Chain A
Amino acid sequence: MPNLIIQAISKRFGQTVALEDVSLTLPEAKLICFLGPSGCGKTTLLRLIAGLEQASSGKIFLGETELSAIAAHKRNIGMVFQSFALFPHLNVANNIAYGLKIRGVDKLTRLKRAEELLELVQLSGLGKRHISQLSGGQRQRIAMARALALEPDLFLLDEPLSALDAKLREAMQVELKLLQQRLGITTIVVTHDQQEAMTMADVIVVMGENRVQQIGAPLEIYHKPKNRFVADFIGSNNFIPALVKDTQSVSALGSIFEIALPKSLKVGAQVALSIRPEKLQLYSSEPPKSSKLAGTIKFIRDLGSTVETFVEVAGHELSVKGIQHLATGDKVWLSFDPADAVILEV
Chain B
Amino acid sequence: MNHPSYGKPKNRWPYFLLTYPAIMILLLFFVPLCIMFALSFFKRIQSAFFEPAFVFENYVRAFSTFFLQRIGVSLWVAAVAAFICLLIAFPFTFFLSRLRRSRQVPYLVLLISILSLSEVIIAFSWSLLLSKTSGISNLLVALKLLDAPVSWAPGFVAMLSALVYISLPLAIIVLYPSLSRLDVSLTEAATTLGASPIVSFFNVVLPNVRQALLTTFILVFIFVLGSYLIPQVLGRPEHWTLPVHITDQALLKSNMPLAAALAMLLLIASAGLSLLTLRLGRSQL
Report A's interface with B, CB cutoff 8 A. Answer: 50-52, 71-79, 81-83, 85-89, 98-99, 102-103, 146-147, 150, 156
Chain B residues contacting A85 (CB-CB under 8 Å) are: 183, 185-186, 188-189
Q: Say yes or no: B208 contacts A88, CB within 8 Å.
A: yes
Q: Say yes or no: B193 contacts A98, CB within 8 Å.
A: yes
Counting contact residues on chain B (CB < 8 A from A), the size range is 10 to 19
Bound complex: CA A72 to CA B195 (Å):
9
Report the nearest A residue to B193, measured CB to CB: A99
Q: Does B69 contact A (CB under 8 A)?
A: no
Report the nearest B residue to A158, measured CB to CB: B185
Chain A residues contacting B199 (CB-CB under 8 Å) are: 102
Q: Say yes or no: A87 contacts B204, CB within 8 Å.
A: yes
Q: Say yes or no: A83 contacts B208, CB within 8 Å.
A: no
Instruction: Give the distance to chain B from A140, nearest Cβ to Cβ, in Å.
Output: 14
Q: Say yes or no: B188 contacts A73, CB within 8 Å.
A: no
Q: Does B283 contact A (CB under 8 A)?
A: no
Instruction: Give the distance to chain B from A93, nearest Cβ to Cβ, in Å.
Output: 14
- Residues of B185-220 whose CB lies within 8 A of A: 185-186, 188-197, 199-200, 204, 207-208
Report the nearest A residue to B207, measured CB to CB: A89
Instruction: Give the distance to chain B from A92, nearest Cβ to Cβ, in Å.
Output: 14
Q: Say yes or no: A78 contacts B192, CB within 8 Å.
A: yes
If the complex has contacts A87-B204, A89-B285, are A147 and B192 also in contact, measured as CB distance less than 8 A? yes
Offer 27 A-B interface pairs, CB within 8 angstroms, sorted by A. A51-B192, A72-B191, A73-B191, A73-B192, A73-B195, A73-B196, A73-B200, A77-B192, A78-B192, A79-B189, A81-B189, A83-B183, A83-B185, A85-B183, A86-B189, A87-B189, A87-B208, A89-B207, A89-B285, A98-B193, A99-B193, A102-B193, A102-B195, A102-B199, A146-B189, A146-B193, A156-B192
Bound complex: CA A118 to CA B86 (Å):
40
Q: Pick from B183, B191, B199 the residue with the most CB of A within 10 Å.
A: B191
Q: Say yes or no: A74 contacts B194, CB within 8 Å.
A: yes
- Residues of B125-149 whose CB lies within 8 A of A: none
Bound complex: CA A159 to CA B182 (Å):
20
Instruction: Give the distance to chain A from B210, nearest Cβ to Cβ, in Å.
Output: 8
Report the nearest B residue to A146, measured CB to CB: B193
Report B's interface with A, CB cutoff 8 A. Answer: 183, 185-186, 188-197, 199-200, 204, 207-208, 285
Bound complex: CA A89 to CA B185 (Å):
15
Bound complex: CA A85 to CA B193 (Å):
12
Q: Pick from A72, A75, A78 the residue with the most CB of B within 10 Å.
A: A72
Chain A residues contacting B191 (CB-CB under 8 Å) are: 51-52, 72-73
- A-B pairs, top 3 by smallest CB distance, nearest first, are A99-B193, A85-B185, A85-B189
Bound complex: CA A147 to CA B193 (Å):
7
Instruction: Give the distance to chain A from B200, nearest Cβ to Cβ, in Å.
Output: 8
Q: Say yes or no: B194 contacts A150, CB within 8 Å.
A: yes
Instruction: Give 19 A-B pairs besides A87-B204, A156-B192 with Cβ atoms closer than 8 angstroms.
Output: A50-B188, A52-B192, A72-B191, A73-B192, A73-B193, A73-B194, A82-B185, A85-B183, A85-B188, A85-B189, A87-B186, A87-B190, A87-B207, A89-B207, A89-B208, A98-B195, A99-B194, A102-B193, A103-B194
Instruction: Give the distance to chain B from A14, nearest Cβ to Cβ, in Å.
Output: 10
Chain A residues contacting B185 (CB-CB under 8 Å) are: 81-83, 85
Q: Say yes or no: B188 contacts A150, CB within 8 Å.
A: no
Q: Say yes or no: B192 contacts A98, CB within 8 Å.
A: no
Report the nearest B residue to A47, measured CB to CB: B188
Bound complex: CA A51 to CA B200 (Å):
15
Chain B residues contacting A71 (CB-CB under 8 Å) are: 196
Bound complex: CA A73 to CA B203 (Å):
15
Bound complex: CA A74 to CA B199 (Å):
13
If the complex has contacts A83-B185, A87-B204, are A72 and B190 also in contact, measured as CB distance less than 8 A? no
Instruction: Give the distance to chain B from A262, nearest Cβ to Cβ, in Å.
Output: 42
Chain B residues contacting A77 (CB-CB under 8 Å) are: 192
Q: Say yes or no: B192 contacts A72, CB within 8 Å.
A: yes
Bound complex: CA A88 to CA B192 (Å):
17
Chain A residues contacting B194 (CB-CB under 8 Å) are: 73-74, 76, 99, 102-103, 150
Report the nearest A residue to B197, measured CB to CB: A73
Report the nearest B residue to A76, measured CB to CB: B194
Q: Say yes or no: A52 contacts B195, CB within 8 Å.
A: no
Report the nearest B residue to A96, measured CB to CB: B193
Chain B residues contacting A73 (CB-CB under 8 Å) are: 191-197, 200
Bound complex: CA A103 to CA B194 (Å):
8
Report the nearest B residue to A143, measured CB to CB: B189
Instruction: Give the distance to chain A from B151, nearest Cβ to Cβ, in Å.
Output: 47
Instruction: Give the distance to chain A from B175, nearest Cβ to Cβ, in Å.
Output: 18
Chain B residues contacting A81 (CB-CB under 8 Å) are: 185, 188-189
Chain B residues contacting A75 (CB-CB under 8 Å) are: 192
Q: Say yes or no: A98 contacts B190, CB within 8 Å.
A: yes
Bound complex: CA A71 to CA B194 (Å):
10
Chain A residues contacting B190 (CB-CB under 8 Å) are: 87, 98
Chain B residues contacting A150 (CB-CB under 8 Å) are: 193-194
Bound complex: CA A99 to CA B195 (Å):
8
Chain B residues contacting A89 (CB-CB under 8 Å) are: 207-208, 285
Instruction: Give the distance to chain A from B21, nearest Cβ to Cβ, in Å.
Output: 32
